[in-house]
Structure formats: structure tokens, C-alpha cells
Amino acid sequence: MKTVGVYLLCLIAVLGFSGCQSSQKSVTKGSSDVGTKKNEKEIGATTAAPARILVFSKTKGFRHDSIASGQQALITLGEQANWRLSFTEDARAFSKEGLGRYAVVVFLNTTGDVLDDEQQTAFEHYIATGGGFVGVHSASDTEHDWPWYGQLVGAQFNSHPEVQQARLVVEDNDQLATEHLNDAWLHSDEWYNFNRNPRKDVDVLLSLDEHSYDAGPGAMGDHPIAWQHHVEQGRAFFTGLGHTKESYQSPEFLQHLSGGIHWAAGIDN
């Protein structure tokens, strides 16, 4: 679907200016009334049938200071893409009824054990019945003791070197998350080493050229860094990018993230 990239042409000009600043006031974190129609805070277009997206950023471990930058970028993307966004850090949103209202759930730099057993069961049901999942960066450093979630994400965080520029190899440029990229892309971020190589279970979109940076003692050799796959009736997209605030000012990364959200919502090329 080639139209996904069109609205991003003005994105970086918009970010940081008044339109984005005014939208930021609508973002709520950890609202005690999350999931209720009366108090849910939503941002997005009001035209027919907007895609409803839940952005979850609860942390029980390290907290990224780029979360607010990611939320702000998603607001702008949502205004351009006809999404209706709900932001929360309240895990009570994870009920069968609550999740059933959304096309996609985004884990935006979550960390640690963020859902209880009942909430985990509701999320498993949501994916099994056709829901979409997008994991950003430390979504892979979340729920290490929940095997189903590890399979959903595809691989989980093991270690990382310092933030540095690396060369990303585009392995599949026929997908919404990568169709805008050349065969290789230079980007600075915090590059996770994972506990396993997910290649045999997913469609790898981007991999890291470990010769282009210092991966540290956790170097993987073959190093996927973004991928997507089907999980029962649902779809799951993961990108290892998104640690830094600067990532959310990068047009290449934002189109990558937007494409992943569209794919998770059921849109194909």
C-alpha cells in the first residue's frame, strides 16, 4: 500500500511545532479510568471508521526517557493516518472487552512484568482472535517469564552495547515497514542482542551488519533487528529501534514504525 508513506512527507516539519505541542496535552498516562468509554483519552482523526490503537507504556524496570517522544510522534502519525489513539500505563485496559475495541496494541518501550495472569489471558485471547501487536525496542525486555509473550515478540533482550551508528540491511523491502528504504540504512540507536535468533519463525525485515559497529560480547553474527509474523489469527510486528529521543525525529524510522502498525492492523501492500 504505497499511500502509507505520503502523509509522512511533512511529519518532521510538524513535530516540535505548535500542532504537535497542542496534541501532547491529550496524552494520559496511567489513568485509573482506562478502558471506560466515559474517560478514555483519545487522539486522532474523526472521519469514518478510524483504526483504534492502544499505546501501552507501563514500565516495571528501566524507563526510557524517549517514551514521551514516542507518544508525541504517534499522535502526529495518528492525525495523518486516521488512527484513534488511546494512551495508558494502566494494565486494567487488558480485559477481553477492553482489548476488543482495538485493531492494534502497541507496547512502547515497556519493561518488566507489566500484566497479571488474568490480563495475560485476555491478551492471548485478543491475539488468537485476530488482534494486532506492535513491539517497540524494550517491548523485548518485557515479561521474560511468560513464554507465550516471548513467542509473540519473537526474541527477547539479552544485552546491548552503547548507543552507536550501525548499518542496517533491508532484507524484505516489499513490506510497509521497509518499502521506503534503500538496501542499506545507517541509523544510530541502542542495538539489542537477543536471547535467540528468531529468523526461522518470522519474516525478517531488517538485520544489523555487525561489522559496522561494536556489538559487544553478546554479538549474534546473524542479527535480525526488525521482523513480523502471524500468531494464530493475529499479527505481530517488532522493531528493535526506538531507544533514543532522536529516533522519533527520523523520517525513516517513523515510516518504518507507521508501516509496522498498518501491517499489524491487517493492511498489506
For the chain, first and last CA: distance in Å?
Answer: 4
Residue 63's pLDDT is: 96
Tens of pLDDT along 245-258?
999 999 999 999 99
| pLDDT of 31 strictly over 80 | no
Q: Calculate mean pLDDT across residues 57-81.
A: 97
Q: Domains along the chain?
A: 2-264 (3.40.50.880)
Are the C-beta atoms of residues 180 and 269 closer than 8 Å to each other? no
| pLDDT of 43 strictly over 90 | no
Residue 267's pLDDT is: 87
Residue written as grid cell 482506562:
34
pTM of the full structure: 0.84
Which distant-in-sequence residues (6+ apart) come within 8 Å of 40 by Cβ?
A: 31, 33, 34, 86
Q: Calculate mean pLDDT across residues 106-126.
A: 99
Cell numbers at residue 174, please? 516489499
